[in-house]
Amino acid sequence: MKELEAYRIGLIGNGSWATAIAKILSKNLSNIRWWVKDDFVKGHLIRSKHNPTYLTDVEFNPDQFIISTDINEVVFESDIIFLVVPSIYVEKCLERLNVPLKDKILVSSIKGIVPNHYLAVNEFLHQKHQVPTENMGVISGPCHAEEVALERLSYLTVAHQDPKMAEMIANCLRCDFIQAKITDDVIGTEYGAILKNIYAIAAGIAHGVGYGDNFQAVLMSNAIREMERLLYTIDWRDRDINDSAYLGDLLVTGYSFFSRNRMFGNMIGKGYTVKSAILEMNMVAEGYYATRGVYEMKDKFEVKCPIISAVYKILYQGKNPKKVMDKLTKKLD
């Protein structure tokens, strides 16, 4: 395997998490090819050294980046590509590609389901872009972008089936405020990150309709058990569900006020309609789309997932949040 220096690094995305990843990568690397969506973002990054919309306090050194709005150029000129766009934009973002993705090492840090396809991002890359499994990794972790901006100590998990490759990717990320561990549980890490957003919405709804901290703790305790059941069904393997990548990620999303999924759920619990909650927030709550995606898949999994079902009923069937949550409480222990 080549040394890290021999790989050309690319980054796709300009949201808050992509901006956080850019900040982290810039601690170790230069010549990062960074795809952003338009000339406004590109110009702002080059001229004023900030993302104009997300994590605007983070200052970049433009000399470390080759910023481009041409996805084909970024993909073509990169060997390892960090893919960090919200899942609802993945398909659209990649449909402009006429350069093959399949020879690249793709590292997804997208925590959602690709709409219309009901596929996790790696499944989508595999099925629609022929990326082989051995070329795909995942970054996850209990990690709000906002705290990365503040350089508060955070832990990431890098999943790749080849531990050497996982280690190399981890080395791109490790710095004074980032610790990174590796795992070969690629599917579990990706799905854990998807599921936790749904549970964070549930936590927000519970808070919104008036349940307190005691119930919140019970909800999270049930959520991690539900996640464990689901992950075993999706990909049976020996994993400690209480590792940071699963439980830690659930907790940071379920408890933190930075969490947009929790905030979204809270608004729903307080009586906002889904539409008005989405409009009110300037960010994508990945869990909204994930809820539908996972719900559609759940019959395939044949496991009980009362929390996800409850969130689905509220978000997609217009059921009353208070009534649905009250019913859910009888199913938890």
Point out which residues bind its own copies (CB under 8 A).
141-144, 147-148, 150, 152-155, 179, 181, 210-218, 220-222, 224-225, 228, 240-244, 247-249, 251-252, 255-258, 329, 332-333
Positions at the binding site for substrate: 111, 260-261
Nearest Cα residue to 264 out of 208, 305, 219, 210: 208
Q: In the complex, what is the shortest distance from the CB of residue 333 to its own copies, in angstroms, rounded to a whole number?
A: 5
- Is residue 231 a contact partner of residue 188, using CB atoms and an 8 Å limit? yes
Q: What own/partner pairs with CB < 8 Å and gap ≥ 24 does 118-125 have?
A: 118/293, 118/296, 118/297, 119/293, 120/187, 120/190, 120/191, 120/194, 121/83, 121/87, 121/90, 121/190, 122/186, 122/187, 122/190, 124/90, 124/91, 125/83, 125/101
- At residue 166, the 3 state secondary structure works out as helix
Which residue in 196, 275, 300, 323 is the catalytic one? 196
Q: Can you name the residues that pair with 82 across neighbouring β-strands?
A: 11, 107
Neighbours of 174 (CB within 10 A): 16
In whole angstroms, what is the distance from residue 254 CA to residue 262 CA? Answer: 6
Nearest Cα residue to 75 out of 61, 52, 89, 95: 95
| Token output for 144 | 């709000």
Q: In the complex, what is the shortest distance from the CB of residue 213 to its own copies, in angstroms, rounded to a whole number?
A: 4
Q: In the complex, what is the shortest distance from the CB of residue 299 to its own copies, in angstroms, rounded to a whole number?
A: 25
Positions at the binding site: 111, 145, 260-261
For its own copies, the closer of residues 9 and 148 by Cβ is 148
| Token output for 179 | 């610790």
List CB contacts of 106: < 8 A, sequence separation 6 or more: 81, 83, 122, 125, 131, 135, 136, 137
Q: In the complex, what is the shortest distance from the CB of residue 36 to its own copies, in angstroms, rounded to a whole number?
A: 25
Q: Is 196 a catalytic residue?
A: yes
Active site residues: 196
